[in-house]
Amino acid sequence: MRASFAAVFPGQGSQSVGMLSSWAESQPVIAQTFQEASAALGYDLWSIVREGPEAQLNRTEITQPAMLAAGVAAWRAWQAAGGPLPLCMAGHSLGEYTALVCAGSIDFADGVRLVAERGRLMQAAVPEGQGAMAAVLGLEDDVVRTVCAEASQGVEVAEAVNFNSPGQVVIAGSAAAVARASALLAERGAKRVVPLPVSVPSHSSLMREAAEKMARVLESVEIRSPTIPVLHNVDAAEHADPAALRAALVRQLHSPVLWVDSVRAMQARGAKALVEFGPGKVLAGLTKRIERDLSAYPVLDAATLEAAMTATKELV
């Protein structure tokens, strides 16, 4: 049974020590999912998620499998509760892998190992301190793009990489160029330019080398056509052929996340609501800024699961 909603999965940044721990007390599938992930990785991921330390959880190669496991755990809890199937799925950055696992395209253990390697390759691509990201609030997309091109000075990299909602764009690149762009964007009228506490310039062209290496890793894993359509970050479009899926995941590493386009594409497919599976409420919050008439519900504990179930039953 399908309902008129889309399932979405958050990316890096929504993690926190203790995430989903209280839910695990009443829902066995949460701990079971993390135990499966731990077995695939060869270390106790669930212990790090529950107890920290925070610095360890925030290491990219640990954050990514932790977030994938959290999204899959929430999805499995939804399935266990008899939740309806969505019209389609999408994930923000790393969350795209979670969507593909939940749609049956990638086995869970393979997905966990893939994103751990993805995190490692991303971290290794740019030396610590040489990359940067910043969130830009209150400017048109084209203004951000133009200013980034100016700040690059034809030598360094500063690019718009996450189009999260109208008036919220993330830029990334080399630290010096991002700093120049940030100052110029403030001069051009940005309400705020907020440096992000990361050194990996995700989704910028500085990730091309990591993407080339990730392409070889993806070739070693079986990828199937999803049983539920998944819309991809690079083009807000569905891909079914395994070769096309691999290509989209490779491009994703060094291309902008078109989240606004993705949300609108899901709405165009008939979605009247988005349900966010995993810790935090970032994507649910962005949804209202993108399309006011699109409802959004997080699923991160027993109470939010029940609320989202009640809401989506009305959409069947």
Q: Which residue in 266, 291, 227, 223 sits closest to 7, CA to CA? A: 266
Cα–Cα dist 45/65, whole Å: 8
Is the distance from CB of 9 to CB of 276 less than 8 angstroms? Answer: yes
User: Is 254 part of the annotated catalytic residue set?
Assistant: no
CA dihedral 135, 257, 69, 81 (to 10 degrees): 100
Is the distance from CB of 157 to CB of 113 less than 8 angstroms? Answer: no
> Which token pair is 292?
């006011």
Is the distance from CB of 297 to CB of 263 less than 8 angstroms? Answer: no
**Residue 46 CB burial class (10 angstroms; 0-12, 13-18, ≥19):** buried
Cross-strand bridge partners of residue 9: 91
User: Is 203 part of the annotated catalytic residue set?
Assistant: yes
Cα–Cα dist 58/64, whole Å: 9
Catalytic residue among 38, 105, 203, 204: 203
> Crossing angle, helix 60-80 and helix 95-102, to 10 degrees?
40
Catalytic residue among 14, 93, 152, 204: 93
Three-state SS for 239-283 is CCCHHHHHHHHHHHHCCCECHHHHHHHHHHCCCCEEEEECCCCHH
- Which residues make Cβ contacts (< 8 Å) with residue 42, sequence separation at least 6? none
Is the distance from CB of 174 to CB of 130 less than 8 angstroms? Answer: yes
Which residue numbers are catalytic?
Answer: 93, 203
